[in-house]
Chain A
Amino acid sequence: MPESIPATLVIDTLKDLFREARAAHAKEVAEPPLHSHLGWILSVPDTHQKTVLAALDKEESIRVVTCATEDEATAIAAGLYMGGEPVVLMIQHAGLYASINTLRGVAMDGRVPMFYLIGLLSREKDKDPRESRHSMVRYCEPLLDTFGVPHARLEGPNDVHLIPEYYRLSRERRGPAAVLVGLETS
């Protein structure tokens, strides 16, 4: 059975991920960093991850940019990548459906590393997401499979290691990768 994940655990994991990304960047690039914060979150508000987003509002070491659409978030992430900044996108499955052309055009065709945390809003606790009675839950993984986007399920606190793993994977593959947030964060 999936378990809810505390927002603080997600944020601590993101901080560690950004620290690791900054350290890797510093090894490659000689110029000093232009920013004092650790990294960027691009979000289109998601009910499923609302406790994380609320906690991020008070978090000074991570800069959050709220976007009007997931298309924007994807293109902004590409710009941040070109400028050397670490970035994570926080969206929900409906936003993935809405922005799939931009994911294709930017992250896949452009070979831009792009890491998504995707909330599975309305996912039932006692059902596999692929068998959900809600189409927005049921089609998420098949859609990612169709586009060849590697993905994993965040089913409880013990799975947060998947966040840095799939972030790294997006860098190694130079393309999109996603972690699906199974239940509402707490």
Chain B
Amino acid sequence: MATGAAIDRKPMKPEDVLRAIQAARGSAICVPTMTTAPAWRTIAPDDLSVGCVGFMGGASSMGLGLALARPDRRVIVLDGDGSLLMQLGSLATNAGAAPRNFVHLLFKNGVYHTSGAQGIPGGLDVDFVMMAKGAGYRVVTMIDDLADFKRRLPELLKADGPVFVELHTGLAEQTPMTARGGVPFPQQVENLRSALLKPHAR
């Protein structure tokens, strides 16, 4: 098993990772949070995404609810390391519920980028791969190279979940503090609900 301990090579650019996800996702629902959110709304300006900003740590739980409700679609959570630490027990809840269509991508940069890049507890030494494995995710891996990510992503998106991937990334160009705006959260909720529930949406 690849471990997710300290990063020892040049990290991937989050925007490059997000573009690769957009290219491969098909009709998957996506749940970005914090620093993935501003770039995602430019890269994937669609109604099949709902952001988690304002209740930090809730992205994977919201994604779990979507995955349980809609087993006919993949759900991809674009999580952050600081965010996940705020609701670390969600790893066990996600694994316990065990939705096969659930893909949890963790953008690991070692800092709370949005609030000023303060280090997270434990910094880059925190091994989320071990935690996800211990919680019971079916597929767990670490990726630190963009070409490798692009090569493996289609298979990861087809795998029986829950899938967890720790991605070693640098800092995003924007954060929710430097790039405010976008569709308000209640509107995102209704847009996604409408997209999922309208006749012949699948």
Show the binding face of A for B, using Cβ within 8 Å: 28-31, 34, 40, 65-69, 71-85, 87, 101-102, 104-106, 109-112
Contact = CB atoms under 8 A, between A and B. Distances in A.
Contacts of A71: 55, 57-58, 61, 87
Given A31-B201, A111-B186, A79 B62 contact: yes
30 contacts: A29-B199, A34-B69, A65-B96, A66-B93, A66-B96, A67-B61, A69-B90, A71-B61, A72-B93, A74-B55, A75-B59, A75-B65, A76-B61, A76-B64, A76-B93, A77-B65, A78-B65, A78-B189, A79-B65, A81-B65, A81-B189, A82-B50, A82-B65, A84-B197, A87-B65, A106-B55, A106-B58, A106-B62, A109-B186, A112-B189
Contacts of B18: none
A73 B90 CA distance: 10
B198 to A, nearest CB: 8
Contact of A83 (B65, B93, B97, B198): B65
Interface of B: 50, 52, 54-55, 57-59, 61-72, 87, 89-90, 92-93, 96-97, 185-186, 189-190, 192-193, 196-202
Contacts of B65: 75-83, 87
A34 B58 contact: no
Interface of B is mostly: helix
B58 A84 contact: no
Contact of B66 (A28, A83, A87): A83
A34 B87 contact: no
A105 B55 contact: yes
